[in-house]
């Protein structure tokens, strides 16, 4: 690999202007991420804690290995919708390391509408399952869910990619040998009850956890039976009578500890066949990226300047460097791991499209992850582009 030589002048006035512009955008993004993570009204959180329950991110922090990162997915789902009263779509998803095993973690947030599923909640849940299946990650469901949000049921149930798809994917992954583990921390009604019921192993917290397809009020209306929630679907009943539950624990820390014990005994393969190398910092500071990107979208910049500030040692092996030059393709190492990079350097022509397709095919054959650096207005148009077969 050859090291990219930067031609950017960090002392230029345009560099400082670009930095200021993107720093404002980054500050806005970080503020929204903090707002989404902090949840909603404090009263809901206090009521949640009064029941002896942890918040979803607190559960995740106790579950994953100490001093390891949690890669949260879709943190801004449902942003700007429902009056911003459904932060993160009421669910936290992401990849974390548990006893050395990388797992997909899906945690309901009961402080947001009782953990109910909105349209965006379903999409986020399905996306997490899709990533888990593609990358063969065990799934851990931290369940505290009231099922579908009924005023939204027309956007939650009907389509094949809606709520029912989450159960289909859960069953399919279990059939493929991908562990599906669930810990139940609160009431799980209707659709929320299927998540633990379809899991390979289930943990329930005594006194708080419940699983029932219909709650006491529905049972009263449907068959005129008067029953309390604990008798109907409590942890004791499901442990001693129905057999739906596998492990009965006294509190949430015990449930999370039991999950870790189960993961530790999965005998899950941890081998990685990638060409992993010692991590090296880029030759140019990543802090300079904001100064490289033009504040004016009409002013171009060389995407190689971004790559030079991302990859280990700024080393980059470019693929077809003098063909289809409006798309830069090549291989590098990022934090020690091999990656294939595709970065736009102008509008796409037929040549750059063919080059990109060829490069993606090679990376797919070699199981090399892909990193896309997007900066494009679209495909080139006009007579010359059409004669070049751009539509194909």
pLDDT attached to residue 255: 97
Indicate the range of 76-85, 191-200, 225-234, 285-294 predicted with least confidence.
225-234
Query: Rounded to an integer, what is the distance from CA 296 to the centroid of its chain?
Result: 31
> At the fourth CATH level, which superfamily is domain 39-264?
2-enoyl-CoA Hydratase; Chain A, domain 1 (3.90.226.10)
At residue 359, the pLDDT reads 98
pLDDT tens string 206-228: 999 999 888 888 888 888 888 88
Q: What CATH superfamily classification does 2-11+275-387 receive?
A: 2-enoyl-CoA Hydratase; Chain A, domain 1 (3.90.226.10)
How many helical (H) and strand (E) elements, i.e. helices and strands, does the chain have? 14, 14
For the chain, give every domain's residue range: 2-11+275-387, 39-264
Alpha-carbon span 287 to 273, nearest angstrom? 31
What digits encode the pLDDT tens for the residues 113-148?
888 999 999 999 999 999 999 999 999 999 998 888
Distance between alpha carbon 55 and the CA centroid of its chain, in Å?
18
Tell me the DSSP string of 121-159: HHHHHHHHHHHHHHHT--EEEEE----B-GGGGGGTSSS
Predicted TM-score of the model (pTM) = 0.89
**Burial of 360: CB neighbours in 10 Å, binned 0-12, 13-18, 19+:** middle
Domains 2-11+275-387 and 39-264 share a fold: yes
- Residues 354, 371: Cα–Cα separation, whole Å: 18
Question: Which SS3 state, helix, strand or coil, does residue 303 take?
Answer: helix
**What is the pLDDT averaged over residues 11-16?**
94
Q: What does pLDDT average to over the chain?
A: 91
**pLDDT at 231 (0 to 100):** 86
| Per-residue confidence (pLDDT) for residue 258, from 0 to 100 | 97
- The pLDDT, as a whole number, for residue 387 is 72
pLDDT at 365 over 70: yes
């Amino acid at each position: 690999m050859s090291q990219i030589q930067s031609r950017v002048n960090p002392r230029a006035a345009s560099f400082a202007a670009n930095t200021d512009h993107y720093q404002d955008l980054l500050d806005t993004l970080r503020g929204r991420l903090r707002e989404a993570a902090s949840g909603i009204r404090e009263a809901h959180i206090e009521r949640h804690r009064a029941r002896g329950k942890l918040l979803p991110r607190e559960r995740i922090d106790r579950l994953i290995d100490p001093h390891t990162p949690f890669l949260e997915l879709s943190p801004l789902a449902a942003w700007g919708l429902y009056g911003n009263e459904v932060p993160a779509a009421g669910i936290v998803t992401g990849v974390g390391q548990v006893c050395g095993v990388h797992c997909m973690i899906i945690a309901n947030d009961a402080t947001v509408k009782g953990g109910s599923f909105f349209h965006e909640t379903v999409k986020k849940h399905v996306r997490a399952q899709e990533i888990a299946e593609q990358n063969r990650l065990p799934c851990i469901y931290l369940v505290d869910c009231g099922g579908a949000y009924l005023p939204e049921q027309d956007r939650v149930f009907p389509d094949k990619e809606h709520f029912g798809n989450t159960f289909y994917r859960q069953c399919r992954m279990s059939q493929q040998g991908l562990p599906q583990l669930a810990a139940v921390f609160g009431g799980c009604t209707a659709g929320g009850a299927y998540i633990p019921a379809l899991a390979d192993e289930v943990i329930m917290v005594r006194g708080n956890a419940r699983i029932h397809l219909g709650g006491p009020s529905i049972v009263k209306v449907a068959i005129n039976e008067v029953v309390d929630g604990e008798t109907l679907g409590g942890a004791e009943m499901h442990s001693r009578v129905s057999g739906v539950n596998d492990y009965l624990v006294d509190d949430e820390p015990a449930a999370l500890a039991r999950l870790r014990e189960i993961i530790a005994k999965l005998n899950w393969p941890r081998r990685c066949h990638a060409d992993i190398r010692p991590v090296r910092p880029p030759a140019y500071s990543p802090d300079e990226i904001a100064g490289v990107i033009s504040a004016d979208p009409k002013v171009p910049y060389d995407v190689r300047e971004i790559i030079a500030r991302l990859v280990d040692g700024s080393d980059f092996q470019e693929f077809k460097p003098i063909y289809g030059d409006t798309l830069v393709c090549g291989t590098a190492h990022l934090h020690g791991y091999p990656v294939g990079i595709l970065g736009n350097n102008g509008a796409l022509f037929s040549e750059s499209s063919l080059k990109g397709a060829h490069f993606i095919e090679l990376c797919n054959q070699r199981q090399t992850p892909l990193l896309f650096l997007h900066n494009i207005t679209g495909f080139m148009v006009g007579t010359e582009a059409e004669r070049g077969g751009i539509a194909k």
